[in-house]
Structure 1
Amino acid sequence: MSGASYSSSACTLPGLMPNGHQKSSSEKRCHFQMPLHYPKYRKTDYETMPEWKVDSLLSEYGLPVIGDVNQKRKFAMGAFLWPSQHE
């Protein structure tokens, strides 16, 4: 996933930049914003999680929601489980 960039819906207000400088109204500055709570699911939770829930989780973190349900589950496990939890 190196070199990939993802955007989320966290954007600055029109006309204001984070440092207080003005910008034109046609510019839109977006950035990734980490949700407050890191998901605390086990491997077995991901393996049985319904597709809509996997989609929602990945979207919440600004991660891609592509592939079939098994690919999404595998991606979520790789993103959110520590290596020792993959066993």
Structure 2
Amino acid sequence: MSGVSCRSTVSATPKQSRPNGYSHHQAIKRDSCSCFRMPLHYPRYKKSDYETMPEWRLDCLLKEYGLPVVGDDNQKRKFAMGAFLWPSEKE
């Protein structure tokens, strides 16, 4: 569960301007990539598990998948069930 780091391949020196007018510092910001972490396994919880899951565990689960952790306990529960349960499991 570790992210892969990316490095820019810009070879301009710090004081050198690029042909498009951007400085090296601006080029690094533009050329660098953002990286993310994706858990290896899809959560295997049932609807009843989400209904009884403590709020702190819901927060951890949503953060682990890079999903928003906003709202009250009930809203987080509904969001997690909508994100992780298959339609047949939601009934």
TM over 0.5: yes
Provide the rounded CA distance (Å) in 2 between the counterparts of 1:29 and 1:55.
27
Unaligned 5+ runs, structure 2: 11-23
Q: TM-score, normalised by structure 1?
A: 0.71
Map 1:8-87 → 2, pairs under 5 A: 10=3, 12-13=5-6, 16-17=7-8, 22-23=9-10, 27=29, 29-87=33-91
CA RMSD of aligned residues (A): 2.3
Normalising by the residue count of structure 2, what TM-score does the alignment of the two structures yield? 0.68
AA aligned opposite 2:5: T
* Structure with the larger helix share: 2
Tell me what 2:13 maps to: none
Moved over 6 A (4+): none
Q: How many positions carry a matched residue from both structures?
A: 73
For structure 1, the 5+ residue unaligned runs are: 1-8
Larger of the two Rg values belongs to structure: 2
